Amino acid sequence: MDGSDRETEVLVVGFGPVGATIANLLGRYGVRTLAIDAATEIFPQPRAIALDNEALRILQAAGLPEGSFETIAIPEVRYRSPYVGQLARLETGGCLDGHPKLVTFYQPELESELRSRAREHPSVTVELGVELVELAEEKGRVRARLRELDGKEHAVHAKYLVGADGAKSRVRKALGVGFDGRSYAEDWLIVDAKRESSSLDHIEFLCDPRRPAPHMPAPGGRERWEFMLHPGESAEEMEHPDKVRELLSPWGSPDDMDIERTAVYRFHARTVERFQKGRVFLAGDAAHITPPFAGQGLVAGLRDAMNLCWKLTWVLRGRAAPRILETYDQERRPHAKAMIALARWLGRIIMPTSRAQALATGVLMRGLRLIPPARSYLEELKIKPQNEFDRGLFVERRRRGLRGRPTQPKTQLTRGAMFPQAWCQRGSDGCWSDDALGDGLTLIGFGIDPEPYLGSSAAAFSAAGGACIQLCHRGQRIHRSDGDNVWEDISGAFIPGIAPIGWAAVVRPDRTILHDGPVTEAARLVGETLALLGAGYAQPDSSKEMGARATASRASAAPEAQR
Ligand SMILES: Cc1cc2nc3c(=O)[nH]c(=O)nc-3n(C[C@H](O)[C@H](O)[C@H](O)COP(=O)(O)OP(=O)(O)OC[C@H]3O[C@@H](n4cnc5c(N)ncnc54)[C@H](O)[C@@H]3O)c2cc1C
C-alpha cells in the first residue's frame, strides 16, 4: 500500500472462504474490490468438512467448476445409538441441481483455490497482513482505517464494505449490532487423521451419552472424528497425542493413522440482529455461527455471498435503486436462523446427556421411522429448510385472482425460490443451465423465444443487465428460434418438468425466481421486474442514494399487475 488514502467500490474485510467467494463474485462483475485479511496465511485448523449441492452451485458461479478442489460424495448419513442401534438415516446420495447432495472436502484446499482465482480478476486487489482497525460511514461512502503488520496505518474509502471477518468480527462490533443466541456448555475435540486402509464411505454420528462422536471420510485419505469433552477435561489434556490415540483406538490401530490436525472448539448458535447497517454488510460467520451438526456454517456464508454480490453490483452500476440492498437482510436472516435451528435439533439427537435420554431419543426416532411420511421427511432431507424467501426481491404471487378465486399456478416455479439447474445443449456444446443463463438477469422462455414479446421494454431490460434465452425441449423444431440464445433441455428437467411451453420466468443473477407468467406477457413481466429493481436509477454511487431509500418490503409486496 502507498501512504495516501485510496478509493474502491467494495472493501471486503476478511479473506476467509466467504470473503474470497465474495471477491470472486464481485470480480466476475468487474467491480473494483479490495479484499484484506489480517492473517497472512490460510487458517490451518480443522473446520468445515461438508458442503451441500447449493454450496457447490454457488462455487460454480464464483468460477470454481467441478473438480477445482477434491470432494468425496457421501451417499448417506447414519445416526447410531449404542443402546438401540440405528436411530435415523439421511439419504444423501445422488444429485440436485447438477451437484452431489452432500460432499466432504478439505477446507484449506478450497480456500487456496478461491484465493488464487480471486487474484486473477483484474478488478480485485488482495492484501494480506492488513487489518481493519476502524470504520465510519461518511458522505455516501465508508471510511476504513487499515493497519499493516509493521504498524503503518492508511485509510480506504469504499462505496460499500462487507464484513466477512469471522465469528469475532470487528466490523460487527463497530456496527454495534447484537449477536443473539447461545453458546454451548460443551467443548469438542476435532481430529483429522490420514490412513491408507480406510473404507468408510458415509458419515456416522455415534449418539453415545458417554462420548458422542461424529466420524466421516474426507479427501486425501483423511478421516474426521469429533469427540465431545466431559466437564473437567481440558483442551491441553485432550489434544495430547496419547489421549488422541486412545480416543481413536476403537476405530483401528492408531499406529496406522497419521494424526494431521487437532483442535478444541466450543460451538455457538448465534445470528446478528441485522445483516446490514447503512453501507456496511455482514456475511458468513460474522453474521451467523452455528454448531456444525448440519454442516451448514460455511454453506450459509456462501449463500450470503451469492445473495449480496449481484445486488451490490446492480446498485453500483446504477441498474437498481439502493433500496434493493435491504432485501439482503430480509432474505438471508430467516434462512440462516432456520438452519441454526436445524443444527440445534440435530445436536440434541447427537448429544444425549444421559443414558435415559439416549434411550428415549432412540425409541422416538425408531418409532418415527415406522411412520412413512415421517420416515421420508427425515430420510429424503425434507427437514432441511428450503432456500425460499417469504419476503424479498421478487414479485409476490397474488393469492386470489379476480372475483376472489384462488389463482391456479400452472407451473412448479415458486417466486422467491431457486430456479433449478440441469444440463443443456446448444449444437454440440453442452453446459449446465446456470452457465447458459450467464451472470445477469435472465428472461427465460419455455419452448418459445421471449424476446419478440418484449417490444419497447427490450432496451430497458438490456440496460438493467437483462438478457433473454429460450429453453427448448429435446428435439423441438416448432417455435424454435434460430438465434444463439437457444438451449435444449436434455433431461426434460425444465419442460415439462417445471413449466409448460409458452411460459416465461425472470431469474435473478443469484438464480432466485423473481417473476413468471405467460410468455405473451413478457413485456409486463419485465416492466414489473424493472419497477421492483428501481431500474434506471440515475444516480449510481451518489450520496443521494441514502435519501432515496424506501422500504424493500414495500417493493417485495408490490402486487402483480392485473392481467
Ligand atoms: C469444527 C468445525 C466444523 C465445521 N464444519 C462445517 C461443515 O462441515 N460445513 C460447513 O458449511 N461449515 C462448517 N463449519 C463452519 C465453517 O468452518 C465456517 O462457517 C467458515 O469457515 C466461516 O468462513 P468465514 O469466511 O465467514 O470466516 P473465517 O473463515 O473465520 O474468515 C474470517 C477471516 O477474517 C479475517 N479477519 C478477522 N478480523 C479481521 C480484521 N479486523 N481485519 C482483516 N481481516 C480480519 C481472519 O483472519 C479470517 O481469515 C465448521 C466449523 C467448525 C469450527
Summarised one tens digit per residue, pLDDT across range 185-195 is 889 999 999 99
Query: How many angstroms is it from 146 CA to the middle of ligand 1?
Result: 21
Q: Is the CB of 48 under 6 A from ligand 1?
A: yes
- Across residues 520-547, what is the average pLDDT? 75
Q: Are 275 and 329 in contact (CB under 8 A)?
A: yes
Query: How many angstroms is it from 14 CA to the middle of ligand 1?
Result: 9
Q: Are 26 and 119 in contact (CB under 8 A)?
A: no
Q: Is the CB of 248 under 6 A from ligand 1?
A: no
Cα(473)–Cα(470) distance, integer angstroms:
10
Query: What is the H or E stretch that residue 55 is in?
Result: helix 53-61
Mean pLDDT of the chain: 90
Q: What is the CATH number of domain 423-555?
A: 3.40.30
Query: How many angstroms is it from 109 CA to the middle of ligand 1?
Result: 14
Q: Choose one of 162, 165, 184 to mutate for the ligand 1 pocket test, by most ligand atoms within 8 angstroms of C-beta.
A: 165
User: What grid cell was written down for 92?
Assistant: 444423501
Domain boundaries, the chain: 6-69+104-178+269-339, 423-555
- Bridge partners (DSSP) of residue 515 are 506
Q: Is the CB of 13 under 6 A from ligand 1?
A: yes
Looking at CATH, the fold of the domain delimited by 6-69+104-178+269-339 is given as FAD/NAD(P)-binding domain (3.50.50)
What pLDDT does 537 receive? 60
Q: Is the CB of 302 under 6 A from ligand 1?
A: no
Cis peptide before 250 (omega within 30 of 0): no
What pLDDT does 380 receive? 66
Using CA of residue 165, residue 168, residue 174, residue 180, what is the dihedral sign?
positive
Binning pLDDT at 50, 70 and 90, where does residue 535 land?
confident
Query: How many angstroms is it from 110 CA to the middle of ligand 1?
Result: 13
Query: How many angstroms is it from 167 CA to the middle of ligand 1?
Result: 7
Q: Are 322 and 266 in contact (CB under 8 A)?
A: no
What pLDDT does 355 receive? 81
Confidence check: pLDDT of 544 > 80: no
Atom of ligand 1 nearest to the CA of 283: 26
Give Cα separations from 325 to 102, 118, 311 (angstroms): 31, 23, 6
Q: Is the CB of 54 under 6 A from ligand 1?
A: no
pTM for the predicted model, two decimal places: 0.93
